[in-house]
Structure 1
């Protein structure tokens, strides 16, 4: 096989690997349910029991975690402390990030569980960690009652990880109100729901129909990499963008063939010493 043909095959393979679509649609009911259910599963079973643990529900504004996930970098969002750049209503937003490879390694429930498993390194009595446990404390932060998650495929790898050169997945969850305030315990120890006030108690969690109701926002972050004139969460504008990218790449294939032909017949035009 000629070197030029090898180049052509390599380029074609790379074109096939490129993707701008998430691993899961952030509006997919099964994905949403898996993320929310797994968070509440760990919130309901904390030890010691929590007197004020709120039930957690999904928020579409927080689901713009997808915007940061698209950068495919294993670092916290640089806009977390910038008011109204993370959410149109909440002024404080927390964040947990998970990354893994290959794609098949990812399940939202498993990722959330990996954060919750940090409980082994957290000591409630002293509110101290022996190792990393901030992901756990955010998962069970009593006043964090809204969550939005997104998972992004990263064909070229997730930067700042040991698998940065192989296809991977990054999973980001945003929380409101934010947790992990220095010197503050994630929840108040006591009989389950004993500090719920007028809320109802369900599976050891404080529920409030008004607070738990879904909200709609005509908003998307101004730093979102696929930002366009559309103002709905996810949706057709992103799909159109991705389709346009694919079409442009497909159109470029004949030019790649032509370039290879020129290299074969007129190699001196591209010869450099």
Structure 2
């Protein structure tokens, strides 16, 4: 049985990362594509892929620690037992929270925080990473996939939900 965990917090601090290269790979292209497809459904503009965010995400994901890293960015985490999880699995999981979002009482909820970060209109940049891990598993032991995405500017600020989380179109 495949287990999945997701976790998000927009944390403030400072981080710097270097650009690994100017070319995106298939994972990066898919991360941007799936994010922008969902964002369009909620009236949010397209994100730009940021190699600095991706480099920092890759460096942190390689530590195989399923916990937020800290930084002045939004951060969505996804873990799946075994191997083979994709960026689509991660973003689909985060977007599944949309059904629980209360547009009549907009605000942060741990149950919808991944969704709101993905569609947050003020976020303009994205960087994601995936790492196969054999240590640090949130499932106890065994191989697992660690996927995380970072967003700037970060989302999920109280008082800013009505203008940043659109209704599905």
TM-score for the superposition, normalised by structure 2? 0.77
1:33 to 21, 26, 29: 29
Please tell me whether residue 171 in structure 1 is matched to residue 147 in structure 2. yes
Q: Which residue of 2 aligns with 1:184?
A: 160
Measured at CA, do residues 137 and 71 of structure 1 come closer, stay the same or move farther in structure 2, by a change above 3 Å?
same
Unmatched runs of 5 consecutive residues or more in structure 2 = 1-22
Unmatched runs of 5 consecutive residues or more in structure 1 = 1-26, 81-91, 193-203, 205-273
2:101 to 122, 133, 138: 122
TM-score for the superposition, normalised by structure 1? 0.49
Q: Residue 51 of structure 2: SS of its match in structure 1?
A: coil
Q: Counting strand residues as a fraction of each chain, which structure ranks higher?
A: 2
CA distance in 2 between counterparts of 1:117 and 1:151 reads 20
* Aligned-residue RMSD, C-alpha: 2.4
- Conserved? CA contact 2:31–2:88, under 8 Å: yes
Q: Counting helix residues as a fraction of each chain, which structure ranks higher?
A: 1
1:96 to 64, 72, 76: 76
Aligned length: 146
Which deviations, in whole Å up to 9, do the C-alpha atoms of 1:82-105 show, x marking residues without a partner? Answer: xxxxxxxxxx3111000111112x
- Conserved? CA contact 1:123–1:129, under 8 Å: no
CA distance in 1 between counterparts of 2:159 and 2:61 reads 29
| Greater C-alpha Rg | 1
Instruction: Provide runs of 4+ in structure 1 moved above 3 Å.
Output: 128-131
Q: Residue 169 of structure 1: SS of its match in structure 2?
A: strand
Instruction: Report the CA distance between 1:29 and its aligned residue.
Output: 2.4
